[in-house]
Amino acid sequence: MRPARALIDLQALRHNYQLAREVTGAKALAVIKADAYGHGAVRCAQALEAEADGFAVACIEEALELRAAGIRAPILLLEGFFEADELPLIVEHDFWCVVHSLWQLDAIEQATLAKPIQVWLKLDTGMHRVGLHPSEYQSAYQRLQASGKVAKIVLMSHFARADELDSLRSVEQVAVFLAARDDLSAEVSLRNSPAILGWPSVPSDWVRPGLMLYGATPFEQDHPLAARLQPVMTVESKVICVRELPAGEPVGYGAKFITPKPMRIGVVAMGYADGYPRHAPTGTPVLVAGQRSQLLGRVSMDMLCIDLTDVPDAGLGSTVELWGKNILASELAEKAETIPYQIFCNLKRVPRLYSGS
């Protein structure tokens, strides 16, 4: 059997969820869209359900998968419905529904609903992706109230730059939100992971932790709260071939690495088809036989090469951690010029093994 695998530590997931609650004192929707950022949405939801206030996913297809697996907790659809014909299913399964555009508001007004739904009314406070314009917000709220089709409304918005702790943009977005909310007394939800960890004064009755649940920091710099996160996913494989090369020999496709001296090289069963970033350069850290070493040359589809020259304990069959508890996904992401979100979401082909459930 191919030795590549992803170990998923559900105890760490619960720890990180509790941290989101503890630092905010708020209710927390565990964001498990995109198959829980590659960690497996059903298993993660099952591990959290006893304590979670609810879950959030990107679309009804993801929400239905959770209900089919027996998850009874509230589930928020972060983009609401994409077509009005999803509304009967939203009612049937008690999904909570973001309304981010006027066409969705029109559709709710026109629909015949068997019972009222819970709406999270999204305001565009400056990210300019989705969300109602501040000038539309009060009237949208009144229309939902008047429609008789809505049981409860939560007011929400989303930050564009909360990971940049020296940017004032999040403060400006909060000011836009507070002005548009004016005297509406509904509950509020503003904070994603970087805002939970980095912006303590931002109001939020409900927080929406995603990345932090999986134990990765959203920040480029060190942060005391991010240091308390526990990585959930560890991706490892094994050395399947060892070779001794003299100086001056190329390694891998395109001869992008040439041995500067005699070297011992290990080939690892892991490649970009597993989600390891193809753009990770020579020098990207790996852990082999418990010791830090480095990637050499180009990443192939199913294999990659690492340096064993200074790791005498390592050899055929040695375990290699590509990212996880020792090689942080954020560190790998930085080397590969991407973000830990994408490292997690790209995981594929590798079987996931769960512990701590």
Ligand X SMILES: *Cc1c(COP(=O)(O)O)cnc(C)c1O
- Residue stretches of the annotated binding site for substrate: 129, 301
Q: Which residues are annotated as a binding site?
A: 129, 301
- Among 208, 264, 298, 335, which residue interacts with ligand X (rule: CB under 6 A)? 208
With CB under 6 A as the contact rule, the residue among 211, 263, 267, 268 that binds ligand X is 211
User: Which residue's C-beta sits nearest to ligand X?
Assistant: 210
Contact call for residue 52 and ligand X (CB under 6 A): no
What is the identity of the amino acid at 129? R
- Residues 205/26, Cβ–Cβ less than 8 Å: yes
Q: Give 201: exposed, middle or buried? Use CB within 10 Å, 0-12, 13-18, 19+.
A: exposed
| Cα 32 to Cα 49, 75, 284, distances in angstroms | 12, 10, 29
Q: With beta carbons less than 8 A apart as the criterion, state whether 21 and 28 touch.
A: yes
Closest separation between CB of residue 158 and ligand X, Å? Answer: 5
Q: Which of 54, 126, 134, 209 is the binder for ligand X (CB under 6 A)? A: 209
* Sole binder of ligand X in the list 54, 126, 210, 285 (CB under 6 A): 210
In 3D space, the residue among 118, 125, 123 whose CA is nearest the CA of residue 138 turns out to be 123
Q: Are residues 109 and 149 in contact, defined by beta-carbon separation less than 8 angstroms?
A: yes
DSSP alpha helix (H) spans, the chain? 10-24, 33-37, 41-48, 60-68, 87-92, 102-110, 134-147, 169-181, 193-198, 329-335, 340-345
Question: Do 42 and 66 meet the contact criterion of CB atoms below 8 Å apart?
Answer: yes
Q: Residue 280 has what DSSP assignment?
A: P
The window from 109-117, 206-214, 226-234, 298-306 that contacts ligand X (CB under 6 A) reads: 206-214
Q: Is the Cβ of residue 16 or residue 259 nearer to ligand X in the bound state?
A: 16
Cβ 296 to ligand X shortest distance, Å:
32
CB within 8 Å of 26: residues ≥ 6 apart: 191, 204, 205, 206, 207
- Enumerate residues 21-50 that contact ligand X by CB under 6 A: 31, 33
Q: Does 193 bind ligand X (CB under 6 A)?
A: yes
Minimum CB–partner distance for residue 218 and ligand X (Å): 6
Does residue 149 belong to the site contacting ligand X (CB under 6 A)?
Answer: no
At 271, list the tokens: 């490649």
141 or 159: CB nearest ligand X: 159
Among the listed residues 17, 37, 137, 253, the single catalytic one is: 253
The Cα 170–Cα 192 span in angstroms is 12
Q: Please report whether residue 158 would count as binding ligand X according to CB under 6 A.
A: yes
Given the residues 33, 149, 238, 335, the one annotated as active site? 33
Contacting range for ligand X; rule: CB under 6 A; set: 82-90, 100-108, 207-215, 343-351: 207-215
Cβ contact 235:321 at 8 Å: yes
33 is catalytic: yes
Binding residues for ligand X, total number by CB under 6 A: 11
As a whole number of angstroms, the distance between CA 15 and CA 189 comes to 22
Is 253 a residue of the active site? yes
Nearer to ligand X, 252 or 275 (CB): 275
* Contact flag: residue 153 with ligand X (CB under 6 A): no
Per CB under 6 A, which region of 202-210, 238-246, 287-295, 330-338 contacts ligand X?
Answer: 202-210
* Residues at the site binding ligand X, with contacts judged by CB under 6 A: 31, 33, 78, 158, 192-193, 208-211, 218
Give catalytic residue positions: 33, 253
